[in-house]
Amino acid sequence: MFDDEEEIGFVICASCGARIKANRERCLRCEAPLVAWQKPELLPSWLQRWGGDTLIFGIVAIVVVLVIAVVAFDSRQVSDDVARPVSNAKTSARTAALPVAPDAAALPVAVGAIEPPDFLDVRRGTADLSGDIAAARAKYEAAIARTPDSPELLNNLGLALERLGQIDAAIVRFERAAQLDPQGWAYHFNLAHAVSQRRGLERAIAEYRLAAGLAPADYATQYNLGMLLHRKGDEVAAIPEFQKGIELAPTVSALHLALAISFERSGRKAEAQREFEAYVEMAPAAPDAASVKSHLRSLTGASGS
């Protein structure tokens, strides 16, 4: 019961006319029954008409909507911060982020001689070759059966075939990919690498030159082009390719070693000494570091410096 008279109010007894609080069941004067008292409602009338269950449902629904809105906003913020993958095959082949090439310390070195590390064998493409290569080959062959003129699929199949040792078959796929997309730097890079394994030296050089023109910022392309020119015995042509590679990636020690060898074979011993020193400083733990240091001492004595 409430004690606040203004909130409870009064009624007039129909029998005796006495003024009695509305919360009484009988008149205090004549004991006659009064109109039954009801506790004042605390909710507005429009909410009362809803009913209790409907009201509870409405409140729950509002809470759920607010939670969903907060989660959706957070998800959108996260998605805006995540880089979206390139979906177009041609665009991905031309502008995909360059993977980091291995340094000289991780590459094989010829025993008993100072030789540049082998090709920076960085494959270009979207093929997933981390698992069963034969299964990957079957997957790409099935995809090409549905889309025979996809340069990206042909390139990926070529990469799988090359990993399986089927170089000639890989070359055919790389050639087709390059024909379908002549501006696809990845396809020329992979074709050059595969052709070089079949001793097609001149053609491999030509393909690497095409690749270098399409991706002038790729130091691995410059290195591999310089390596082919070095194998050909054309050190004069190899030197600027290695120098371009160093401009693009000055901390890749393999480039300095290759340039040092080309300088020395061209009779430019002072420049060779500088590059040998740079290599030893960058890769002191390389497998051939001791041999390079020994060679550097002999070169210094021979040069009189």
Its CATH class, for the domain covering 218-305, is mainly alpha
**Residue position matching structure tokens 């050059």:** 192
Q: pLDDT tens for residues 213-260? A: 999 999 999 999 999 999 899 999 999 999 999 999 999 999 999 999
Q: For residue 188, what are the contacts with CB-CB under 8 A and spacing of at least 6?
A: 178, 207, 208, 210, 211, 214
- Give pLDDT tens digits for 90-103: 434 443 333 333 33
Q: What percent of the chain has pLDDT over 70?
A: 58
Over the stretch 157-198, which tens digit does the pLDDT of each residue have?
999 999 899 999 999 999 999 999 999 999 999 999 999 988
Domain 122-215 in CATH 1.25.40.10? The answer is yes
Cα–Cα distance, 12 to 8 (Å, whole number)? 14
H/E segment holding residue 241: helix 235-248
Q: What is the model's pLDDT at position 66?
A: 67
- For residue 141, pLDDT over 80 is answered with yes
Rounded to 10 degrees, what is the CA torsion of 150, 156, 161, 165? 140
Write down the pLDDT at residue 76.
42
Instruction: Tell me if 122-215 shares its fold with 218-305.
Output: yes
User: For residue 20, what pLDDT is reported?
Assistant: 62
Q: What is the model's pTM?
A: 0.61
The DSSP letter of residue 290 is H
User: Domain map of the chain by residue range?
Assistant: 1-63, 122-215, 218-305
Contact 178, 158 (CB under 8 A): no
SS3 of residue 107 by DSSP: coil
Q: Angle at the Cα of 174 (from 155 to 120), degrees rounded to 5?
A: 85
DSSP character at residue 271: H
CA distances from 2 to 24, 36, 39, 144 (A): 11, 15, 8, 85
